[in-house]
Chains A and B, each alone.
Chain A
Amino acid sequence: MRAYTFTQPRSVREAVAHAGEGAAFLAGGTTLVDLMKLDVMAPTRVVDINRLPLRGIKLDPDGLHIGALERMSDVAVDRNVRRDYPMIAQALELSASAQLRNMASIGGNLLQRTRCGYFRDVTTPCNKREPGSGCSALTRINRTHAILGTSDDCVATHPSDLAVALVALGTDVHLATAQGTRTVPLDTFYALPGSTPHVENVLRPGELVTGITVPRSMWAANSVYLKIRDRQSYEFALASAAVAFEWRGRTIKQARIAVGGVGTTPWPLPAVERALAGQPATADTFEAAVSTAADGARPLSQNAFKRELLRRTLVRAFTVLAESR
């Protein structure tokens, strides 16, 4: 691991003053320490933010507020989260392992890096790690890679389960720098790879995530997160679906949908939402609605199966939700 200076500020103001180009915040460390050992991330300054007061899981009339340093395991067992935002608890409990969930923070989770094997291996070309070096996954092992939002320069998935649920629910992310604070909707927070896959989000150098707000809604309480993977537990998604329905009798008044494991960012599906709105919750409705889900997909040599897997994952999530009504 490369050398770095290490600081442990106690206030947000101090933390952002220490941050900037070449610095990295350390929360749970489950991404950062791993990637520093692999020499994939090599900050010259590490700012341990665990002493900052960015804690708390609070429900109020605006919605659910979660501090950036709350741990995945603590959010998953929170009573309000489980009752009013079940898909958030499910997405968290289907992520990583119990030990990792005890360590990993909500802010860090949103900023975790892709699990593309070439990104993690400094001996192979990777545009995300080393701009301009090429993309190894395009022509090599790419079974788990993305089919939506890809470019000729990068086809890596965004690995977070939580982010998929939060995009579906219209979450806001709160940010701070030495210059001030701002709030960005999570669905505009992540950047498509395009020709600059090393730019993954709209964060400015040294900008700190201080927390998130998930709005109140008529649908969050009727929600599900379904994750399909190569083994039953402790694995990233091949495809996942975060789905919430607002009901009017037996009819779906409106739906909120985002999918994971298939896109270069957590992927909202507004066309599928529209196709469900006002329809009865029947198998025919579901099949018709998912017909467009993989539109625009660009499968690679090994992952064309993800188109159909995505549609089947969605139909199963809709069915689970309809049956649990």
Chain B
Amino acid sequence: MNPSENADDSRPGVSRRSVLGGGAAVAVAVPLLVTGAGAEAAPVAEVASADLVPIKVEVNGKPVSVRVDPRTTLLDTLREELELTGTKKGCDRGQCGACTVHVDGRRVLSCLTLAATVDEREVTTIEGLARGDRLHPMQQAFIERDGLQCGFCTPGQIMSAVGMVHEGHANSDDEIRERMSGNICRCSCYPFIVDAIRDAQKVMR
């Protein structure tokens, strides 16, 4: 859907606080709920119209305009709103690295980034790395070196690894291990991940 369709659905005067009554968390971006039928649809729409923050972001090279709840993370916006589900939600607490994306070229955790703060910035996700059918050298190296088992951590590993190479800090296996320590792999593919990064880093230079 195009979230901006809801842009002028404005019904001022209803605060979100009074509607939600405190504690309940709305994890997904609100506009998605607006189309849902049922008793909740009306109040949520009012919540949405009261306080949504409009943002313009370039996502994988394409300009995108969305209206987000100020509580919504970049991770949930990418997955739920923009349907870019390559970026994974592991811990949702900044501890595992599965949600790593690039904002203005820097690797960051999308689960601790509020979507409202990326207005007018560039976001690159795992979906934005390949050029057509040609995989990014890091993606290719992860396949060739078997740097994954279940694959859940892999998009985060690859985005983090590309960021690290751009930072200029992939010069030895020790350095790779240290600078990749924010990306946890539950399948423990660490040795092959280091191999893949060592290979890709030579091609990327």
Counting CB contacts under 8 A, is A46 at the interface? yes
Asked whether A6 and B182 contact (CB < 8 A) given A99-B97, A102-B106, the answer is no
Closest to A235 in B: B181
B residues adjacent to A (C-beta < 8 A) = 15-17, 20, 22-23, 25-26, 51, 53, 70-71, 73, 92-94, 97, 100, 106-109, 112-114, 116-117, 119, 160, 163-164, 167, 169, 177-183
Please name all residues of chain A whose beta carbon is closer than 8 Å to the beta carbon of B70 when the two chains form the complex.
Answer: 4-6, 46
What's the tally of chain A residues with a CB closer than 8 Å to chain B? 31
User: Contacts A30-B112, A98-B180 given; 19 further ones with Cβ under 8 A?
Assistant: A3-B15, A3-B16, A3-B17, A3-B51, A3-B71, A6-B70, A8-B117, A29-B112, A29-B114, A29-B117, A33-B73, A44-B17, A46-B70, A48-B114, A48-B116, A97-B183, A98-B160, A99-B108, A99-B182
Interface of B is mostly: mixed
A182 within 8 Å of B (CB atoms): no
Residue A151 at the B interface, CB < 8 A? Answer: no
Q: Please report the C-alpha to C-alpha distance between residue A103 and residue B99 in the assembled complex, in whole angstroms.
A: 14
Specify the chain A residue showing the minimal Cβ separation from B116: A6
Any B CB within 8 A of the CB of A142: no
- For A301, list chain B residues within 8 Å (CB): none
Give the interface centre of A5, A30, A33, A96 by most chain B CB atoms within 10 Å.
Answer: A33
Q: Which of A3, A5, A33, A232 is the most central at the interface, judged by chain B CB atoms within 10 Å of its CB?
A: A3
A305 at the interface (CB under 8 A from B): no
Rounded to whole angstroms, the CA-CA distance of A34 and B111 in the bound complex is 9
**Do the beta carbons of B107 and A6 come within 8 Å of each other?**
no
Query: Which residues of A are found within 8 Å of B93, using beta-carbon distances?
Result: 34, 37
Residues A103 and B113 in contact, CB atoms below 8 Å apart:
yes
Do A39 and B23 have beta carbons less than 8 Å apart?
yes
Question: Judging by beta carbons under 8 Å apart, are B114 and A33 in contact?
Answer: yes
Chain A residues contacting B117 (CB-CB under 8 Å) are 8, 26, 29, 48, 50
A319 nearest CB across to chain B (Å): 22
A/B pair count, beta carbons within 8 Å = 95
Q: Is A103 touching B108 in the complex (CB atoms < 8 A)?
A: yes
Contact A98/B167 with A39-B23, A233-B177, A233-B181 known, Cβ cut-off 8 Å: yes
Cα–Cα, bound, A37→B178 (Å): 28
- A325 within 8 A of partner (CB): no
A29 to B181, Cβ gap below 8 A? no
Given contact pairs A26-B117, A48-B116, A234-B182, A99 touches B73 in the complex (Cβ within 8 A): no
Give every chain B residue within 8 A of A29 (Cβ-Cβ): 112-114, 117
Residues of A within 8 A of B114 (CB): 26, 29, 33, 48
For residue A34, which residues in chain B have a CB less than 8 angstroms away from its CB?
A: 93-94, 112
Within 8 A of B (CB), among A96-115: 96-100, 102-103
Alpha-carbon gap, A100 to B177, bound state (A)? 16
Do A102 and B73 have beta carbons less than 8 Å apart? no
In the complex, what residues of B have CB within 8 A of residue A6's CB?
Answer: 51, 53, 70, 116
Q: Are A96 and B182 in contact (CB under 8 A)?
A: yes
In the complex, what's the smallest C-beta–C-beta distance from B63 to chain A, in angstroms? 20
- Interchain residue pairs A-B with the least CB separation, the first 5: A97-B182, A6-B70, A233-B181, A234-B181, A3-B16
Contact between A30 and B116, CB atoms less than 8 A apart? no
Within 8 A of B (CB), among A25-41: 26, 28-30, 33-34, 36-37, 39
A34 to B94, CA, bound (A): 7
Residue of A nearest to B164 (CB): A98
The residue on B at minimum CB distance from A7 is: B70
Q: Is the CB of B71 within 8 A of A1?
A: yes
- State the CA gap A100–B53 with chains docked (Å): 25
- Which residue of B is nearest A97, CB measured? B182
Tell me the complex Cα distance, A187–B25, Å.
Answer: 38
Give the residue name and chain of the A residue nearest to B70 (CB): A6
Partner pick for B107 among A44, A98, A234, CB 8 A cutoff? A98
Whole-angstrom CA separation of A36 from B112 in the bound complex: 10
Q: Is the CB of A99 within 8 A of B92?
A: no
- Could you pull out 23 A-B pairs where Cβ atoms are within 8 angstroms? A1-B25, A1-B71, A3-B15, A3-B20, A8-B119, A26-B114, A29-B113, A29-B114, A30-B112, A33-B112, A33-B113, A36-B71, A37-B25, A37-B92, A37-B93, A44-B17, A48-B114, A73-B167, A97-B97, A98-B182, A99-B107, A100-B109, A100-B112
